[in-house]
Amino acid sequence: MISTLILLFGLINLVMSITGRIKGLITLLSIQGFILFLIIIFSHDISLDLNFLFLIFETLVIKTIVIPSLLKIILFENNIFRETEPYIPNFYSLVISSIMLFTGIILMPFYLGVSISTILISLFFITTKKKLLTNVIGFAMLENGIFLFSLSVAEEMPVIVNMGILLDVFIAIFILGLLVKKINTVFNDSNTCALCNLKDCGCDD
């Protein structure tokens, strides 16, 4: 069961890498969060200790509901729904992401393989997509991958640290969202290409 879920999690990455609609991406993100929740339910004995409750809270509330809705709010405020043409055609993104995923699975079955390939795929995702919001989604995807990874060692993480991490990730996405909003109003453009003013080319502008 867990293996199936993890595979599903990995396949969602692939779908995400070719999805053009930002709304769809956010939904996929939410599904990933829910899969993480399911993985926790299936892999741990259900108990009432603080750590377990915390994990449930994090996946079910934060990853499945709060972060996607936050992203959606930004989406609707900015009226951007589609990713423009990415740096690399979607087909090649798919090929590269697939290679990453399957290499990961072959080398280190499941937990590790999928999570590390998710991390790499999400980094790749960020580098190829142009819209700022898509980049934030990529960041959330990265966090999902990391979370999947950390599940293997979840018992060892003290609650205080876990809470800190949760808070950090949440605020990070929140601030990034705020910045996206701000950038959209200031630059009138949500492409990352607009954010290339700060550079050094040796020329005196």
Q: Restricting to residues 114-133, which ones interact with other proteins according to CB under 8 A?
A: 116, 119-120, 123-124, 126-130, 132
Q: Is 196 in the site for other proteins (CB under 8 A)?
A: yes
Instruction: Give the bridge partners for 131, in sequence order.
Output: 191
Residues contacting other proteins: total by CB under 8 A: 54
* Among the listed residues 63, 135, 137, 190, the single contact to other proteins using CB under 8 A: 135
Per-residue burial over 21-45, b if 16 or more Cβ lie within 10 Å, else e, is: ebeebbebbbbbbbbbbbbbbeebe
Which span sits near other proteins by CB under 8 A: 9-17, 33-41, 44-52, 160-168?
A: 160-168
The rounded distance, in Å, linking the Cα atoms of 171 and 159 is 18
Distance between first and last Cα of the chain: 60
Q: Specify the residue, 109 or 164, whose C-beta has the smaller distance to other proteins.
A: 164
Q: Closest distance between other proteins and the C-beta of residue 94, in Å? A: 18
87 binds other proteins per the rule CB under 8 A: yes
Q: Does 48 bind other proteins (CB under 8 A)?
A: no
Structure tokens at 6: 């993890």
Decide if residue 93 touches other proteins (CB under 8 A).
no
Q: Is 179 in the site for other proteins (CB under 8 A)?
A: yes
Q: Give the other-Cβ count within 10 Å of 3's Cβ.
A: 11
Mark residues 95-114: x for contact with other proteins by CB under 8 A, - for none: -----------------x--
In the chain, alpha helices (H): 2-18, 22-43, 50-56, 67-78, 90-107, 111-128, 132-151, 159-187
What is the C-alpha to C-alpha distance for residues 144 and 34, in angstroms, rounded to an integer? Answer: 11
Question: Residues interacting with other proteins, by CB under 8 A?
Answer: 87, 112, 116, 119-120, 123-124, 126-130, 132, 135, 139, 142-143, 146, 149-150, 152-153, 155-158, 160-161, 164-165, 167-168, 171-172, 175-176, 179, 182-183, 186-187, 192-193, 195-205
